[in-house]
Structure 1
Amino acid sequence: MQLPYVYRVTKYDPADRDEHGHYTGSEDTVSDHGEVEASYLQAVAAFAGDSGVDHLAVREPQVPSLAHFGVEPPVDGFGLDGLFPGGLTGFHDGAEVPLDIGLQLVRAMLREYGAWCRLEAEGAFAVHVGWDQYLYISSSRPCEEALAHTRELGLFPERLDASPYAFEAEEEEQVIQRPGDDDFWADLYWAVVTGQAGILEETYLEGASRWHHLTSDTIDPVRAGLAPRARLAVWPPLSTNIDAVLRALPADGLVEGVWQDDDGNIRSAIAEEDEFPELAARISRAHAAAFLSVYAGESVPLCTAVMPDNDGVLRARWRTEPTPGDRDWALRQPPG
């Protein structure tokens, strides 16, 4: 839901913008880790207070996968250390945090430590950080006191129609998103016992995933250990013919290697061609393995799903890329 009052809050004086809106002044595009950064956080707190909000929900959280594009160097833990009791696993879609933790997440995003998310109180308030110290705040209220306080802090709030980083649902295909409900897990059990499926990819953050070995005995423990609102992709069993797998390693490009060690755990790594020898050495010692293309459309899972909340409602807004199996499932659903 688009909130009616949207503001871009920055340290950049609008008087220093050219006719195209580009900033031409002398302010740096990185956080000062000091007084200016503190002003940003005070502004967020003021808008939250004016909006009647003291808790926020994490939405669409992400961490860097292949590369870190921030101006500042990445840090261990992506700036999340100490913020969640469960560490990185506590940073998931829908996680509720008090405002003070939300402010620390905003600080981590301003410093470009790697973690990013939208922070929202449904129907009342939203905040997220863009590039170059651009802060976007939305509210159900005009927040006149917060606006005045933000100006007193030396920042510049500007009214917008919408944030360029507001969540937008994809419209390319109107395929129903399959939930990871009891019916999905019953179908998955059948696919495992008949040898069609063998591993499950759990994307618990955008940019971070875990792999699980599936047998008739492991399906229930795997399901119980998934992150809330995780995206799921089901893949065929790994091959135990390691020589054949290694022969399938491409000569160049990017590839994801997935392998099962002797301890039964599934591991994965995305490698460029100069890293292929190290990846091949790891896989040569594996019990079973496969190479998956990271290029769109070249490696397609059997089916996908997104985990619903405990009450069965699918509240996650992110979606999986529909596979032929997903389309077949969607066609079998009753209308409405």
Structure 2
Amino acid sequence: MFAVRATKYDPTKRDARGIFHINEWTSISDIGKTFDGKELTPEDYLQMEDAYIAAIFQLLEATGLSCLAIELLENKMGPDARRSLQQLDTWQLRKKLGAIAIEGELDLEGIELISRLSLREALWCKLKGDHATYVHFGWDYYMYLGTEREGACLGSPPSGMHFETLKSPYAQTFYEG
């Protein structure tokens, strides 16, 4: 089995307690704000969001899966979601999700859509698949990936991301499959 915390945060920048002390953006609502002298642009945000989606697709490829099911869905929005809905067509993505049957399994398009909405704090969810495969989203742009598929390997993280061996703190249920 492997389990990783997949983030944009460089683990070498953490202190001995694991706390990240760099002034870093953590949400879509930070677009337009300045961090360490550089403004977070919509393009910069989307580039990182794309890297997170790529990491999810790496997991799917490593496990041979092409669909995941929603294990848990909270349709409530994060603290800065009202503002984020107005950015990067997030409201349109949310409306598109309403047209997708979210009961049962999500195909690749559905996985990407619900993942983008989770990263943008427009909803919160946990995804699961065969072989105890999971994708969990945390606050502050943390994501957790894992599987019990024998021989599965994620490889190197997408550009700008880091994989740290760590089981999801949201893994509170037992999987079958």
Matches within 5 A, 1:15-30: 15-30=12-27
Deviation at 1:51, TM superposition (A): 0.8
Structure 1 residues 36-55: aligned runs within 5 Å: 36-55=48-67
Q: Would you say the 8 A contact 2:136–2:168 is kept in 1?
A: no
Q: Which residue of 2 aligns with 1:154?
A: 160
The AA in structure 2 aligned to 1:101 is: G
Of 164, 169, 179, the match for 2:169: 164
- Pairwise mapping of residues 148-297 of structure 1 onto structure 2 (< 5 A)? 148=156, 150=157, 152-160=158-166, 162-168=167-173
Q: Which amino acid aligns with 1:5?
A: F
C-alpha separation in 2, matches of 1:60 and 1:24: 31
Q: Distance in 2 between the 1:73 and 1:133 partners?
A: 17
Identity %: 29
Deviations 1:86-111 (Å, cap 9, x if unpaired)?
x6xx434xx21102211111110001
Consecutive unaligned residues of structure 1, counting only runs of 5 or more, are: 170-336
Q: 1:73 is paired with a residue of what secondary structure?
A: helix
Preserved contact between residue 147 and residue 157 of structure 1 (Cα < 8 Å): no
1:129 deviation in Å? Answer: 0.6
Matching residue of 2:33: none
Matched with 2:37 is: none
Tell me whether 1:103 sits opposite 2:102 in the alignment.
no
- The answer for the alignment partner of 2:10 in structure 1 is 13
Sort the Cα spacing of 1:78 and 1:156 in 2 relative to 1 into closer, same or farther, 3 A.
same
- Secondary structure of residue in 1 paired with 2:95: coil
Please provide the CA RMSD for this pair.
2.5
Query: 128, 131, 136: which is aligned to 2:136?
Result: 128
Which amino acid is 1:165 matched to? Answer: Y
Deviations 1:141-166 (A, max 9, x none): 4543x331x1x512100111x21111
Asked if the contact 1:11/1:27 (under 8 Å) is kept, the reply is: no
How far 1:45 sits from its partner (Å)?
A: 0.4
Partner of 2:80: 71
Alignment counterpart, residue 83 of structure 1, candidates 84, 97, 100: 97
| Cα distance, 1:6 vs structure 2 | 0.8
User: Aligned-pair distance for 1:77?
Assistant: 6.5
Letter of the aligned partner of 1:40 in structure 2?
Y
Higher share in helix: 2
By how many angstroms is 1:8 displaced? 0.2
- 2:173 and 2:105 map into 1 onto residues whose CA distance is 22
1:138 and 2:137 are equivalent in the alignment: no
Q: In structure 2, how many angstroms separate the alpha carbons of the residues matched to 1:40 and 1:69?
A: 18
TM-score by length of 1: 0.42
Residues 161-200 of structure 1 show CA distances to partners (whole Å, capped at 9, x for unaligned) of x21111348xxxxxxxxxxxxxxxxxxxxxxxxxxxxxxx
Q: Which has the bigger relative contact order, CA under 8 A and spacing at least 6? A: 2
Over alpha carbons, which structure has the higher Rg?
A: 1
The answer to whether the Cα contact below 8 Å between 1:106 and 1:128 also exists between their aligned partners in 2 is: no
